[in-house]
Chain A
Amino acid sequence: MKLTLKVWRQKDANSAGKMETYPADNISPDMSFLEMLDVVNESLIHKNIEPIHFDHDCREGICGMCSLYINGQPHGPKRAITTCQLHMRSFKDGDTITIEPWRAAAFPVIKDLAVDRSAFDRIQQAGGYISVNTGAAQDANNILIPKVIADEAFNSATCIGCGACVAACKNASAMLFVSAKITQLGLLPQGQPERYRRAQSMVAQMDEEGFGNCTNTGACEAECPKEISLTNISRMNNDFLSAKLFREEEIAHSGE
């Protein structure tokens, strides 16, 4: 296959970037998208040109590192996969492929196609946990969890934190990501004691990071490689509003 790549090149966070065009020759349909970029990069290095920088690691769709906006869609044209799981057979010989980084104020570009997603970590740090010290746990089977609840919590827990939801959202909102964690822990009995506190602190941090607002458009859900559903956002809204408007015990916390 022979392709033309239009790639965003940007030296670092402080420099201006622009789209550059590169040919990609001798591409096999069996290559993954990232392997295609590897091949292009090898040819660039041989010409002593700096390779195209992009984030990647596990290359099997679970680490959440890869993050390319391909032809107008995060992780490219196929549903429910990450960029590293996209294969070149999804493209036609002669295609032009536009590759851009995730675009969001909260995800500044580090270099070329790699962005800084530490905002996600800070949101998790604000409350995405159950406060239990090592060694303090009771026997695991003392906590009974109905299978359907456990499965539902699992569906939310599959989030890989790649940021495709933010990239896809027309408002660069992070609500799908944030709500997945709030929902996972909010559904489980272990998460109840901190449920309303967690929703408030994670949402507060999310707002501070400069993400946009949810308009329930559903692009996030459509592009999520793990198919996390919009219902999570609704659950988060419910917990948040319930905490803010109706829960007396949560008022004491904010006065701390």
Chain B
Amino acid sequence: MSQFKQTFNSSIGKKLIMALTGLFLCTFLIVHLAGNLQLFQNDEGYAFNVYANFLTHFPPIEVIAYILYAFIVIHALYALILTINNRKARPVQYAHQPKSPTSWGSKNMGLLGSILLLFIVIHMSDFWYKYKYTDTVGFKEYRTNVLSNERTVTDFVPESKEFEHSYTTENDVEVVRVKDLHKKVSESFSQWWYVLIYVIAQGALSFHLLHGFQSAFRTLGWTHRKYTPIVEQIGIWLFAVIIPLGFAAMPVVYFFMGK
């Protein structure tokens, strides 16, 4: 056991944890973005709400979700530990502002990460927590005729407080009753300051990943003359441009469409 303790207490071991958790969070972002693209479907939230319901009720996903939360905490915790260590390594600061040529993002990962952590807290308390643990999110009933594909939508008020969701069929009609997260999202994204928080957070995400994604590969020791440039391009285009833009587009589009 002491072998592992030694490994993960070492400077490089701690960085390994940062890298692995970071990369896991990166893959989550891809899935999260793909799922949330349902928001752009013009179906009065059907796909999105079903997707949200699936995420919160399919056991394997629930397990992975908790791993994800744990990783966020670990990633943040180790960042804190490492930052404290790093501060200790230079007890006296320079009088002259350091001028070594480095990217802004790489020097401010802690700041960017803190913004992101704050954002995650806001984001999760507003959606995830309210969705799961409160009854502030209402229900929708989707009745879809499987033959004609016609769908009607109505608000639904469950009789029991324990009600979570139901999938039934009545003759040719599929009846889906799920929590209406879509409505909650539309409401949140109709407030300008809420949209602003999201846009700022996505900006932070962009800079965080611009450095973080390729840095994780370096920490793992995965550098290679052939593949490192590819990793760097993925880091730039996918993680620092496409993903943050995709996420930022949601509140912005909803804000302007809601008007």
Contacts and interface: CB of A to CB of B under 8 A. Distances in A.
Q: Do chains A and B touch in the complex (CB under 8 A)?
A: yes
Contact of B16 (A104, A239, A241): A241
Interface stretch (A23-31, A56-64, A135-143, A228-236): A228-236
Interface string B74-97: 000000001001101111111111
Given A215-B106, A231-B223, A237-B15, A73 B98 contact: yes
A190 interface: no
A211 B87 CA distance: 10
A216 B220 CA distance: 11
Interface stretch (A45-53, A80-88, A120-128, A199-207): A199-207
A245 B8 CA distance: 10
Nearest to B109: A215
B6 A105 contact: no
By secondary structure, the B interface counts as: helix
A103 B12 contact: no
A223 B221 contact: no
Interface in B1-55: 2-3, 6-7, 10-16
B3 A244 contact: yes
B107 interface: yes
A236 B11 CA distance: 12
Contacts, number: 145
Given A240-B12, A241-B220, A219 B100 contact: yes
A254 interface: yes
A34 interface: no
B15 A212 contact: no
Interface string A93-131: 000001010011110000000000000000000000000
Nearest to B91: A105
Contacts of B85: 171, 212-213
B105 to A, nearest CB: 9
A106 B102 CA distance: 23
Contacts of A77: 99
Interface residues of A, number: 53
Given A19-B95, A73-B100, A235-B223, A105 B90 contact: yes
B244 to A, nearest CB: 20
Contact of B222 (A213, A236, A238, A254): A238
Given A222-B101, A235-B221, A251-B3, A172 B86 contact: yes
A234 B221 contact: yes
A210 interface: yes
Contacts of A106: 89
B153 to A, nearest CB: 50
Contacts of A218: 102-103, 106
Contacts of B90: 103-105, 170-172, 212
Chain B interface size range: 35 or more
Interface in B171-227: 211, 214-215, 218-223
A173 interface: yes
B106 A216 contact: yes
A175 B186 CA distance: 49
A183 to B, nearest CB: 11
Nearest to A97: B96
A212 B252 CA distance: 41
B126 to A, nearest CB: 31
B88 A105 contact: yes
A34 B215 CA distance: 37
A100 B86 contact: no
Contacts of B223: 231, 234-235
A193 interface: no
A222 B215 contact: no
B7 A244 contact: yes
Contact of B13 (A73, A244, A251): A244
A180 interface: no
A196 interface: no
A69 B100 contact: no
Contacts of A233: 218
A244 B218 contact: no
Contact of B221 (A100, A219, A237): A237
Contact of B95 (A98, A175, A242): A98
A173 B85 CA distance: 10
14 contacts: A104-B89, A104-B90, A105-B88, A170-B107, A172-B89, A211-B89, A212-B88, A214-B219, A216-B211, A217-B102, A218-B102, A240-B10, A244-B6, A244-B10
Given A171-B85, A171-B90, A215-B86, 19 more contacts: A6-B95, A73-B98, A103-B93, A104-B89, A105-B88, A207-B11, A210-B88, A211-B11, A212-B85, A213-B15, A216-B106, A218-B106, A219-B101, A231-B223, A234-B218, A237-B12, A241-B7, A244-B3, A244-B13
